[in-house]
Amino acid sequence: MYNNNLYNKLTLTALIVVTTLISSNLLAEPTILEVKTKDIVVDGKKAQVYAIEQPDGTWGYYGYKNSMFDVIVKNTLDESTVVHWHGLTLPNNQDGVELTQQPIAPHSEYHYKFKLTQTGTYWMHSHFGLQEQKQLEAPLIIYDVKPTAPNQDIVLMLQDFSFKTPESIMQNILLNAQNTAPMKMNDNSAMSHNTKAPADLNDVKYDAYLINYKDLSNPQINLVKANRTVRLRFINGSSMSNFWINLGHLKGKLVSVDGNEVKPIISNKFQIGMGNRLDILVHIPQKLGYFSILAQVEGTKSQTGVILVNSENKKTSIPQISSQASTTAPALNYAQELQLSPLNNTSGINGGMGANTLENTNMQSHNSKSSYTKNTNESIQLVLDGNMKDYIWTINNQQWPNSTPIYVNLGSNITALITNNSMMAHPMHLHGYRFKIIAINGKKINGALQDTILVEPHSTVEVEFYADNPGKWFFHCHSLYHMYRGMMTYIQTKP
Ligand SMILES: [Cu+2]
């Protein structure tokens, strides 16, 4: 008996040692991310889109803070690509964009290696051509500690889908722009400045809206446990669509925006612009059987969603949910942004963020800050505009790629005033940094740290960041066709 136990113990120890050796050996190997085609079914019809998956089928990347992001991107497509790690503060040559590397040629690969210094919900997507429209994207989640119950942590990537090719969508936009531009301008001058024609909200009419490649005719269903808290990680990975998240019967607690913790906001409705991420905690009550989590596109009745099913009460039948809501959703607005503030920030609203505070929050990976000159302040202007007739979109009157860089001094505290002079909202994204929102329409706020901010038509947003990450960093509109038609530039640090 005793001997048997000892034998068992030894066998167990040996097993643990072997397992540890195998897993540590596996950990030392780079993670493979394959850029590939993916067959999906939308509204009962087959379609081919793109995906980024590991060889075992894992969608995207799940890692830990302070570990290495050691990834080989394998391009299995017959066209070039380049994959950007959206929201990560990383070394410039790892950014995964055409500014810092050659595109990855068809059937070739590229190795990325850098330390993960953040935690939270991020994502990856093609920064090449119009591939993002075909869902060449995936989640990128960085944990602080491993979640104890994996089914209580749900990633929800919002996507806009068309059976048309991105090229023909672009062509249609150009045709529509030419036909409707003069009318839009008349409308604008005749109406009050707050009235916007629906055409200004949505340039593209999509066939469906998806969450994790599925529409409401066949939605993703997640089993959840009653009396437990579920973290919903929303990623707006759509190309041209802003959404209202509707949690229905569940009360949500918004705890993180773009991977940065915020003072919690409790509601069952939230706004999410293109490129943004929201982590929302929901508590699953015992008595109900299922919960629909919906996302409705602004200016439309179109919606998508997933169903959470209470694992202890799952006999309840799940009704079909229509892809059309009963009412049209309004345009997104600044109400949510004005409420947001960082969880760990004691600086006053009018005191501004000193460089020291930004240092602490902005670039934990760079320990060389002390070598930079501190507390120099610089301000830059970023003026967004558009020519509706030709569908040309500009930053500071320049249309990418005919742009000159915006220079900032390395180690300076940068205040950037973003002025939107156009009739459309633009989700503006800065690479390599997170910025703090310090004013909206001139109203000073102690706003959130974000990497993407939806700038409403005819409005201003002031953001601040500490320029301690050297290199060339794209600043662009995350509406895919606006970016494609010129709304992109880059910020370059001077030593
Ligand atoms: Cu835009």
- Residues 96-152: pLDDT tens digits? 999 999 999 999 999 999 999 999 999 999 999 999 999 999 999 999 977 666 558
Distance CA 465, CA 488 (A): 19
Question: What pLDDT is recorded for position 2?
Answer: 39
pLDDT band at 53 (very low <50, low <70, confident <90, very high): very high
Question: What pLDDT is recorded for position 46?
Answer: 97
C-alpha 480 to ligand 1 mean position (Å): 8
C-alpha 425 to ligand 1 mean position (Å): 6
Q: Assign 446 to helix, strand or coil.
A: coil
C-alpha 196 to ligand 1 mean position (Å): 16
C-alpha 184 to ligand 1 mean position (Å): 17
pLDDT band at 286 (very low <50, low <70, confident <90, very high): confident
Structure tokens at 136: 């060449």
Whether omega for the bond prior to residue 219 falls within 30 degrees of 0, making it cis, is no
C-alpha 68 to ligand 1 mean position (Å): 33
C-alpha 385 to ligand 1 mean position (Å): 9
Q: Over the chain, what is the mean pLDDT?
A: 87
C-alpha 221 to ligand 1 mean position (Å): 33
Question: What pLDDT is recorded for position 316?
Answer: 65
pLDDT band at 376 (very low <50, low <70, confident <90, very high): confident
Mean pLDDT score, 29-44: 97
Structure tokens at 339: 């409420």
C-alpha 406 to ligand 1 mean position (Å): 19
Pairing status of strand 229-236 against strand 153-161 = parallel
Domain extents for the chain? 28-37+44-146, 204-332, 341-494
Question: What pLDDT is recorded for position 202?
Answer: 82
Distance CA 243, CA 380 (A): 30
C-alpha 8 to ligand 1 mean position (Å): 64
C-alpha 182 to ligand 1 mean position (Å): 20
Residue 481 has pLDDT above 60, yes or no: yes
CA dist list (Å): 110 to 103, 128, 135, 145, 435: 9, 15, 20, 28, 29
Fold type of domain 204-332? Immunoglobulin-like (2.60.40)
How many other C-beta atoms can be found within 10 angstroms of the C-beta atom of residue 21? 10
More confident of the two residues 360 and 172:
172
C-alpha 481 to ligand 1 mean position (Å): 8
Pairing status of strand 61-64 against strand 137-143 = parallel
- 305 near 210, Cβ under 8 Å? no
Q: What is the pTM of this model?
A: 0.88
pLDDT band at 321 (very low <50, low <70, confident <90, very high): very high
CA dihedral (88, 434, 332, 170) positive or negative: negative
Mean pLDDT score, 431-443: 97
C-alpha 482 to ligand 1 mean position (Å): 5
Question: What pLDDT is recorded for position 185?
Answer: 41
C-alpha 240 to ligand 1 mean position (Å): 9
Distance CA 307, CA 321 (A): 10
Question: What pLDDT is recorded for position 367?
Answer: 37
Structure tokens at 180: 């409707």
Question: What pLDDT is recorded for position 181?
Answer: 55
User: Could you tell me what percent of the chain has a pLDDT over 90?
Assistant: 75
Mean pLDDT score, 221-240: 95
pLDDT band at 288 (very low <50, low <70, confident <90, very high): confident
C-alpha 106 to ligand 1 mean position (Å): 29
State the CATH class of domain 28-37+44-146.
Answer: mainly beta
Question: What pLDDT is recorded for position 16?
Answer: 42
Question: What pLDDT is recorded for position 328?
Answer: 97
User: Could you tell me what percent of the chain has a pLDDT over 70?
Assistant: 82
- 263 near 447, Cβ under 8 Å? no
Question: What pLDDT is recorded for position 458?
Answer: 96
Backbone angles phi, psi at 320, to 5 degrees: -70, 130
pLDDT band at 361 (very low <50, low <70, confident <90, very high): very low
Residue 397 has pLDDT above 80, yes or no: yes
Strands in 347-487 per DSSP E: 377-387, 392-395, 406-409, 413-420, 426-430, 435-440, 443-444, 449-450, 452-455, 459-466, 472-477
pLDDT digits (tens, 9 = 90+) for 440-469: 999 999 999 999 999 999 999 999 999 999
Distance CA 252, CA 308 (A): 14
Pairing status of strand 45-53 against strand 31-42 = antiparallel
Structure tokens at 195: 């009235």
CA dist list (Å): 156 to 11, 143, 212, 214, 270: 42, 16, 6, 11, 14
C-alpha 417 to ligand 1 mean position (Å): 16
Query: What number does CATH give the domain 341-494?
Result: 2.60.40.420
Q: Are 28-37+44-146 and 204-332 equal in CATH topology? A: yes
Question: What pLDDT is recorded for position 187?
Answer: 39
C-alpha 420 to ligand 1 mean position (Å): 10
Mean pLDDT score, 277-302: 94
C-alpha 427 to ligand 1 mean position (Å): 6
CA dist list (Å): 161 to 135, 284, 302, 304: 8, 30, 12, 11
C-alpha 2 to ligand 1 mean position (Å): 73
Mean pLDDT score, 168-194: 64
C-alpha 393 to ligand 1 mean position (Å): 7
Structure tokens at 127: 């920064």
